[in-house]
């Protein structure tokens, strides 16, 4: 099953006898919008969302409290499971996640559901900007609450083994397999670091910015192009592959791109924000992986 779905395919699926549960996961890395106010995904959802979608809060439901394990450590599974059931997610129900277009937040929801055992979850390719169907404001949804509110789901998260890397596992994979750094190249090289205390990368990791996985419209490049891109970095089905970023969000998008390319990959959830929380961990700078 393809891990992504086009807007036209989603429209057809929503008209089918077995429509998917829709998760609206709008979120931004930047804490402030152009207005100077913090981005509010809940408010964006309230102003207009795909009819029937349920808002999911990345910071509160798809991650736990920031700390030594990173800015977006794994969520408490009880909290995550409750959020998914509230949204109507059941083990046998298809799920589609979307965000404001960049795809990172939707990919985080996709990855968590796949990691915890859901067999049928996809990301809307291109996010909400790709959707040309009607939108529903929250007031309209509340007016039809009895008809549109999803029934409680039954999904219970059961994490898979081997899909998550810790700091030691990421360091080992950089030596024995392929560890991809999904951040922008200048952060990988240590030229700038706007968020974390130290710039650079995990020794042995290869620079593979997430932005190169999509076209100008934010849609994923064809699978063959993605396979060629990752193949040039040594990432194929024949070697173990892992991905990290700043805090395990954009790296989930790269894991999704690898999935589209047919290449399984593990996620270092703590990523650079966890790695740099321990000053004893080594840091490499410049374009050379080592």
Tokens of 161: 């083994």
Residue with the two structure tokens 């394990």: 69
CA distance 54 to 87: 6
- Could you give the 3-state DSSP secondary structure of residue 36? coil
237 and 180 Cβ atoms separated by less than 8 Å: no
CA distance 36 to 39: 9
CB atoms within 10 A of CB 36: 6
- The backbone torsions φ and ψ at residue 179, rounded to the nearest 5 degrees and listed phi first, read -115, 120
281 and 177 Cβ atoms separated by less than 8 Å: no
Catalytic residue status for 245 = yes
Complete edge-to-edge strand list for the sheet that includes strand 266-268? 164-165, 266-268, 241-244, 178-181, 206-207
Q: Which residue out of 44, 165, 245, 249 is catalytically annotated?
A: 245
CA distance 274 to 68: 6
Query: Which residues, other chains included, contact 287 with Cβ-Cβ below 8 Å and sequence gap of 6+?
Result: 189, 207
CA distance 155 to 157: 6
**Which residues does the annotation mark as catalytic?**
245
């Amino acid at each position: 099953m393809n891990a992504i779905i086009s807007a036209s395919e989603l429209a057809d699926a929503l008209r089918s006898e077995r429509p998917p549960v829709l998760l609206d996961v709008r979120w931004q890395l930047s804490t402030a919008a152009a207005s100077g106010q913090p981005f509010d995904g809940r408010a964006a959802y309230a102003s207009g969302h795909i009819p029937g979608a349920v808002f999911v809060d990345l910071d509160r439901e798809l991650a736990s409290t920031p700390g030594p394990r990173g800015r977006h450590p794994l969520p408490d599974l009880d909290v995550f499971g409750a959020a998914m059931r509230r949204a109507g997610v059941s083990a046998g129900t298809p799920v589609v996640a979307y965000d404001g277009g960049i795809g990172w937040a939707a990919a985080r929801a996709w990855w968590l559901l796949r990691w915890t055992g859901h067999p049928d979850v996809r990301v809307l390719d291109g996010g909400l900007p790709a959707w040309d169907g009607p939108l529903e404001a929250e007031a309209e949804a509340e007016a039809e609450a009895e008809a549109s509110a999803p029934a409680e789901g039954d999904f219970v998260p059961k994490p898979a083994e081997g899909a998550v890397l810790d700091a030691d596992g990421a360091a080992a994979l950089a030596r024995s397999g392929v560890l991809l750094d999904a951040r922008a190249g200048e952060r990988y090289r240590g030229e700038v670091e706007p968020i974390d205390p130290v710039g650079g990368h995990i020794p042995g990791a290869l620079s593979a910015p997430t932005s190169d996985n999509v076209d100008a419209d934010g849609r994923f490049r064809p699978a063959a192009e993605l396979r060629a891109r990752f193949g040039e970095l040594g990432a194929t089905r024949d070697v173990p592959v892992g991905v990290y970023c700043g805090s395990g969000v954009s790296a989930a998008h790269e894991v999704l791109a690898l999935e589209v390319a047919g290449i399984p990959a593990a996620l270092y959830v703590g990523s650079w924000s966890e790695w740099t929380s321990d000053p004893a961990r080594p840091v490499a700078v410049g374009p050379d992986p080592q």
